[in-house]
Every structure is written in structure tokens, then in C-alpha cells.
Amino acid sequence: MLKKKLLFGLILLIFVSFRSVAVEGMWLPSLIEKNIEEMQMLGLELEALDLYNEDGTSLKDAIVRFGRGCTGAFISPDGLLVTNHHCGYGVIQSHSSVENDYLTEGFWAASRDEELPNPGLTITLLVRMENVTARVLETIDPNMDERERNRAVREISRTIADEAKEDGRYEAMVNPFYYGNEYYLFVYNIYRDVRLVGAPPSSIGKFGGDVDNWMWPRHSGDFALFRVYADEENNPAEYSNDNVPFIPDHFFPVSNRGPEKHDFTMVYGFPGSTQRYLTSDAVKYIVESENPMGIDIRTRVLQIYEQEMAKSDEVRIQYASKHAGVSNAWKRWMGENRGLHRLDAVNVKKELEREFDQWAQSGSMETELYRGLMQAFEQYYTEYLPNRFAMRLYFEAGRRIEIVRFAEQFAQLVTLSSEKNPDQEKIDVEIEKLKRSAESFFRNYNSDIDRRIMAEMIRQYMKYAGEMVPPVINDLQSKYDENIEPFVERVFKRSSLVSEEQVMELLENYRPRHYRRIERDHAFQFARELRSFVFGEIMPAQQKYDSKLDSLYRLYTAGLRVMKSDYNFFPDANGTLRISYGRVEGSYPRDAVQFLPFTTGDGILEKAAQNEVEDYRISERLETMLENRRYGSFANHDDLVVNFIASNHTTGGNSGSPVIDGQGNFIGINFDRSWESTMSDIMFDPEQCRNIAVNSQYILWVISQYAGMDYLLDEMNIVLE
Ligand code: ARG
Ligand code: GLU
């Protein structure tokens, strides 16, 4: 045993000094013991229990899920939380208007009284996690079909979660791992009083915008500050003036030491989803069908958004968040395709599948189960993929039309009203819901944009639908072919759902018999016909396919773990808390090109000098400060280090995750991956995959020197050495 360890250490040491040491995987904190030796070899000075400990405090107590899709970290004993600017973007936008444009100007609360509340925004802290595999699997009979199995799993999961909630004190849920080979219970505390403390102007927080998105070198101050509030007992509470700053069990000391090449790093957060085990057929489909369709359609959407946003400031603010969202995946898909090609991913997968198949055929008792699995996958994908494509197309083209999404929401009202004896109480509840939703919908709605989007999306639907074309699209095609504008014009002229006034009027004076008006509405009809195709034809098949998919992959991941029993396979990301680790290091992205791991303030000026690039525009104040190299006490080797890259395996959801050094200090905040890494959800490449972080020193510099908010630094524990 000892010998093996020594050998492992030696090999790693050689590896460390000459090559990239990126480590694939996003690990469950409660099992981090398995990785701790390797982590320590790379420079971690802490023990497994320092990272995760249910019986005492540990780093995990300073990590939160921010909203639904991001992570955040506590950096003061008074509940001060740091996450990404792009994670707070929607919230910052919601406080912004043409007069008070916090997106453009930034926002800083000069004291706690000036912090801005954000109804609906939640902060989720993990209390504990528990392996409940045995208890879940106990209720499953091997003879159950997949539907029965799902039902049984759902039932026992609910029971386990309900017990863990302790009469509503906590939130809890059971998640499957390795496609249902294992199950874990997660118990959470949810905080609902979360206030905006500070956000830099977009020219800092979103510097480089979509031009630089998913790319290195990067110079973005992509951070924002929030504060979590609790009741007097430090327990979660709805927003109230009487609430007090939440006292976290742990908060990160903030490093002002400056990152150095080969420093140990770990990223602790809530990665959303990866697909590490996909078979070759699935990868081929993504590369050849799904991504190209998504890229093509979104290219057109972005073009329309951009043309219209350029026309008015109001529209620019209204569509800022939508634009960022559409463009983000659009660009990632392009990078993903490039990366998968470069890795020859389909053939690499095929090779593994051949190996697996041979192993399965070997005739031992152990491999018996897996015989024929690869053939089953092949057949499965032949049947399933057209359905999957139709589903994706509905989301990309159908639901990109905003009025379609809005009109869909009226379906329930129509159903309730058209019953024989309409239940007025239920109808009233529905009306209230619709009023609220209309209010938020129209705040960021521009019907000129949506009219153009609708025409373009219908054309795309026609182009891509293939065999599985919704009848409504088919009809439009035979009537109008590509010149769909007259139809769209009519929808927008006749529908009362495209104007806030008319919608509110309808809802204010609503009587159950009015449902016919909705039913006759042009936008509603179009939305309903699309939806009835999706729910009538695609969804039912999809559910069947999904459960089949789970059962195939459950067997496959189980088999892989037997076949390669010396390899520690990580469970795909699924929105649960994970740890990734690596170190600060550059890479060689292309022939003759080397990436250094740091960018500096000078680089901001270099980019800003390209006057024609809107996304590189900075304020005069920033320009002057950088030109005069006014770095305060936040320089590293005389430079202001803005961003750095490191070899941690991360994905969407890791935005806002703290990047932590070997001593457990906060050295930066994760916000992106490089272009060469974007395929890492499907296939990881240690030579290329780098996450991108904002240096903690740059965050401190912006807060202190740029914004003059030193009171915020005073509440932090800033580490110099
Ligand atoms: N690519 C990063 C992520 O996936 C940043 C996205 C926000 N930035 C932007 N320019 N759209 O979320
Ligand atoms: N920007 C991503 C997010 O919002 C993180 C980058 C990635 O996907 O790795 O979570």
C-alpha cells in the first residue's frame, strides 16, 4: 500500500513539474477524502474535514447557491456575499431605468440603509448531505419496468426528503447520481432577504461583453456584492426592516497576496450539468445536428435584437439580459463543436465503446449484465434523436417568440372558465397570477422586436422541422411559404395579448364567458396549436425515451466503474455542491501560441484603445486610474492582475464560485471557461481546459480605489501573506 502511494506521489511529482496537471472531475464534498491526497500533493494545506464537516464548521458553510443558476461566497462575518456581475445582472437591471441606469453606471450602497432588496431572489446553504442509496434501492424490485422504478424512486425520495425537512425548518431533496446507481439526500436552508450592496459599471463588470465571452485573455471585473439578512435568531426570514445581517458559520478571508503560477486552486460551488458519459451516437448528434441548428437560429435572433437595441436606450436596457442569455449558449456551442472535433470525440467514444463491448462479451459472470448494451444504445438513439431534435426546435424557435410563451400562460384560465360550473375562486387566483406575470412580461417587452422574431422563427421552424413538423407550421408553409410577414402582421394587429393595456383590461373585467375571446385570440391560437403538437406528439414519446435513456446509462456507468475499477469516475454535475481542483496555469491553445495565466490593467487599456469595439469602452475615470497605475496596495509584481486562469473542471452554475488557495483563502471568483475548454461538459482535456477567474485583488481595488467603498473592505478579513 505504502509503496503504491509513494509511486503515485513520484509520478505525480514528475507530472506536476512538466505538464499540465488539470484534474477532471467535480467531486462530492462529503467524499473528498478520496481526492485529498492528490489535492495535498498539488499544494492544499487543509484536511478533508476542513473542506466539509457536518459536525463542525468548514469551508462549505461559506458557499451558497445564488438564485437558481449561480454560486456565491461569504466574505465577511456580516453576511457580505460575492458573486458574479452576470449572476446579479437581472437583479441589477430590475433596479435600473433610463434615469437610474445601474447597469451602465454601477451601483454602490454607501451604507447598509441604501442596500436594495430583491424579492424572489434566494440564497441556499447546504446543511448536510447523506448517501441514501441503500434506502432508495431497497424499495426497488429488479423486475420493475422503468416507469414503476421511477415511481418507486420518486415516492421513497419524497419520504426521505420530508423526514429531513424537520417540519418545514429545511428544504430537502434526493438526487440521483450516476443515472440512479446512487442517491444522495441534500438538506438546505433558504434565505430570502438578499440585498444588493454593490455592482461595478458594466464597463468593468461586463468588460469585453459578448466579444470576449468564453475567451482568454480576459479583463472582466465580473463581480457583484450582496448581503444576506436573517431574523434575530440568525434564521431565514422574509424581507423585513427588522432583519439583521446573517452571520455565516464560516466566511472566506480575502487574499491580497496575488496569485502565482502553479498555486493550488480549488473551485467550490454548484455546477449545473455535465454529460461526461454520453455515447458516440449522442456526441455525433450534438455536433452535427443540435448545435448547428441552435447556432444558426440564435445568430438570427441576435441580429434582430442588436438592430433594435441600437435604436433606443429603453430597448437596450429592456433586452440587455435577454441578449446576454441568448448569446451565451450560442457562443458556447460554437466552442464546444470546435473542441469536440479537435479531440476527435466521436471516435474516442467509439473506441471506448468497442472496449466495453469486448469486455462485456468476455463471458464472465461479472460482465454478463452488460452484454448487448452498446447495441441497445445504438438502436435507442436511432429512434430517439428525431424526437429530441423536435423538442429542441420547439424551445429554440417556438418559444423564442415571446408572445407564444406569454400566450401559453392563458391556457389554464381558458380551461377553468370553460368548465360546466366554473370555480370562481380558482379563476380569481389565476387572474391574479396572470396580472403579476403580465406586469413583469411587459416591463421588458418590445412588440416590434417580437414581431420580427416571430416571422424569423416561423421560417426557421419550416426549415428545420423535417419529418416532425407541427401541423400549424405546415399550414403556414403551404399558405405563405417564406413570406410569412402578412400572417405575423395580422397576429400582432388582432391579438389583444401583445399590449399591456388590453391584457390588463381583459383581466380587470374578466368573466368566465370571456374565455371565448381568449380562445379566438390569434396569438393564443398559434401558441396553443404549437403546444398541442408538443404535448400531444413529442412529450409523451419523450418521457418514454427519457426513462429508457436512464436505464441504459445506469447500466453503462455501472459497467464502466467495474471495467475500470482503478479509475475514480466523477458523477455528472447535477446542481449539487461540488469541489474541483487544479492550479493556476496557462496553456498552449494553438500552434505557436501560449496562454499566460494572468491579465493586467495594461491589457484593459490595450483593448480600450480599439475604439470601434463597443464592449471595450471604459469610463474616463478607469482609464485615468489605469494610465497612472494607481493600484493602491492591490498590485502584484507592480501590475494590477485582473483575471487569471487555472485548471479546474467547471461548468455553468460554477459562476460566482469562489476560487480558493491551499490555505482556504478566497483568491478569486470563477466566471467563465476559455474557448478551448467549452467542450468539457462532454469531454475534458487536461491540456486545454482552463476556468477563468477575477483576481480577488482586482475586486478589492474596484471596491476601494474605483468606488471608494472602503467600509466594505473594513468588514473583510484581508490576507496579505
Ligand atoms: N460565459 C459565462 C457563463 O457561461 C459568462 C456569461 C455572461 N457574460 C456574457 N457576456 N453574456 O455564464
Ligand atoms: N459563466 C458560467 C456560469 O454562469 C460559468 C462558466 C462555465 O460554464 O464554465 O455559470
Q: What is the DSSP string of 207-223?
A: TTHHHHTT-SS------
324 alpha carbon, closest ligand? 1
222 alpha carbon, closest ligand? 1
Residue 88 CA, ligand 1 centroid: distance in Å: 12
Of the residues 551, 655, 680, 696, only one is catalytic, namely 655
User: Which helix H or strand E contains 172, and what residues bound it?
Assistant: strand 171-177
List all residues 6 or more positions away from 243 whose beta carbon is below 8 Å from its beta carbon.
193, 229, 230, 231, 237
Residue 492 CA, ligand 1 centroid: distance in Å: 33
Ligand 1 atom closest to the CA of 324, numbered from 1: 11
Architecture of the structural domain at 41-122+192-274+571-719: Beta Barrel (2.40)
Distance between CA atoms of 53 and 250, rounded to whole angstroms? 12
Instruction: Tell me the HSE value of 583 on the side-chain side, using a 13 A CA sphere.
Output: 20
pLDDT of 546 reads 87
Residue nearest to atom 5 of ligand 1 (CA): 672
Active site annotation includes 86? yes
Ligand 1 atom closest to the CA of 673, numbered from 1: 1
Residue nearest to atom 2 of ligand 1 (CA): 672
pLDDT of 365 reads 87
Of the residues 85, 86, 219, 649, only one is catalytic, namely 86
Helices (H), 170-312: 202-205, 209-212, 280-285, 291-309
Residue nearest to atom 8 of ligand 2 (CA): 652
Residue 10 CA, ligand 2 centroid: distance in Å: 34
Residue 170 CA, ligand 2 centroid: distance in Å: 28
Ligand 2 atom closest to the CA of 653, numbered from 1: 10
Q: Which set of grid coordinates corresponds to residue 13?
A: 511529482
User: Which of 204, 213, 298, 614 is the pocket-test mutation for ligand 1 (most atoms within 8 Å of CB)?
Assistant: 213
Ligand 1 atom closest to the CA of 331, numbered from 1: 1
Domain extent listing, the chain: 41-122+192-274+571-719, 124-191, 280-559
Going 657 to 659 to 663 to 666, the CA torsion angle's sign is negative
- Neighbouring CB atoms inside 10 A of 142's CB total 6
- 466 three-class SS: coil
Backbone angles phi, psi at 297, to 5 degrees: -65, -45
Nearest CA-CA partner of 245 in 128, 127, 123: 123
Long-range Cβ pairs for the range 614-618 (8 Å, 24+): 614/209, 615/206, 615/207, 615/208, 615/209, 615/210, 615/211, 615/212, 616/207, 616/208, 616/211, 617/203, 618/203, 618/204, 618/207
List all residues 6 or more positions away from 529 whose beta carbon is below 8 Å from its beta carbon.
470, 471, 472
Residue nearest to atom 11 of ligand 1 (CA): 324
Q: How far is CA 419 from CA 195, 410, 518, 519, in A?
A: 44, 15, 15, 14
Helices (H), 76-122: 89-94, 102-105
Active site annotation includes 222? yes
Ligand 2 atom closest to the CA of 691, numbered from 1: 9
DSSP state of 398: I
Residues 341-387: pLDDT tens digits?
A: 999 999 999 999 999 999 999 988 889 999 999 999 999 999 999 99
Of the residues 50, 101, 222, 521, only one is catalytic, namely 222
User: Which of 87, 672, 688 is the pocket-test mutation for ligand 2 (most atoms within 8 Å of CB)?
Assistant: 672
Cis peptide before 422 (omega within 30 of 0): no
pLDDT of 510 reads 95
Instruction: Tell me the HSE value of 251 on the side-chain side, using a 13 A CA sphere.
Output: 21
**pTM of the prediction?**
0.92
User: Which helix H or strand E contains 501, and what residues bound it?
Assistant: helix 500-508
Ligand 1 atom closest to the CA of 208, numbered from 1: 10
691 alpha carbon, closest ligand? 2
Residue 652 CA, ligand 2 centroid: distance in Å: 4
Cα 259 to the center of its chain, rounded Å: 26
- Give the β-pairing of 718-719 and 254-255: parallel
Bridge partners of residue 205, in order along the sequence: none
Measured at the CA of 302, the angle between CA 298 and CA 308, to 5 degrees, comes to 150
Residue 26 CA, ligand 2 centroid: distance in Å: 14
Residue 86 CA, ligand 1 centroid: distance in Å: 7
Residue 670 CA, ligand 2 centroid: distance in Å: 8
Residues 640-699: pLDDT tens digits?
A: 999 999 999 999 999 999 999 999 999 999 999 999 999 999 999 999 999 999 999 999
- Give the β-pairing of 107-108 and 658-660: unpaired
pLDDT of 1 reads 46
Q: How far is CA 696 from CA 265, 494, 638, 670, in A?
A: 13, 54, 16, 10
Residue 336 CA, ligand 2 centroid: distance in Å: 13
Bridge partners of residue 224, in order along the sequence: 83
Query: Which residues in the chain land under pLDDT 50?
Result: 1-2
Q: Which set of grid coordinates corresponds to residue 581?
A: 481542483
Instruction: Provide residues with CB under 6 Å of ligand 1.
Output: 86, 206, 209-210, 213-214, 324, 327-328, 652, 655, 671-672
Ligand 1 atom closest to the CA of 325, numbered from 1: 11
Distance between CA atoms of 318 and 148, rounded to whole angstroms? 46
Q: Which set of grid coordinates corresponds to residue 59?
A: 469551508
The label of the residue with cell 447520481 reads 177
DSSP state of 676: G
Distance between CA atoms of 61 and 79, rounded to whole angstroms? 12
pLDDT of 203 reads 96
649 alpha carbon, closest ligand? 2
pLDDT of 82 reads 98
Distance between CA atoms of 113 and 607, rounded to whole angstroms? 37
In the predicted model, what is the mean pLDDT of the chain?
A: 95
650 alpha carbon, closest ligand? 2
DSSP state of 23: B
Instruction: Provide residues with CB under 6 Å of ligand 2.
Output: 650-655, 671-673
pLDDT of 6 reads 58
Distance between CA atoms of 681 and 663, rounded to whole angstroms? 28
Instruction: Tell me the HSE value of 373 on the side-chain side, using a 13 A CA sphere.
Output: 27
Q: How many residues does the chain have?
A: 721
- Neighbouring CB atoms inside 10 A of 189's CB total 16
336 alpha carbon, closest ligand? 2
- Give the β-pairing of 593-595 and 171-177: unpaired
Helices (H), 368-446: 373-393, 402-408, 411-417, 424-443
- 313 three-class SS: helix
Ligand 1 atom closest to the CA of 332, numbered from 1: 1
User: Which of 270, 647, 670 is the pocket-test mutation for ligand 2 (most atoms within 8 Å of CB)?
Assistant: 670
Active site annotation includes 514? no
Ligand 1 atom closest to the CA of 89, numbered from 1: 7
Residue 240 CA, ligand 2 centroid: distance in Å: 32
Q: Give yes or no for a contact between 699 and 707, defined as CB atoms under 8 angstroms apart.
A: no
Distance between CA atoms of 90 and 80, rounded to whole angstroms? 19
Residue nearest to atom 2 of ligand 2 (CA): 652
For residue 601, which amino acid is it? Answer: G
Residue 391 CA, ligand 1 centroid: distance in Å: 25
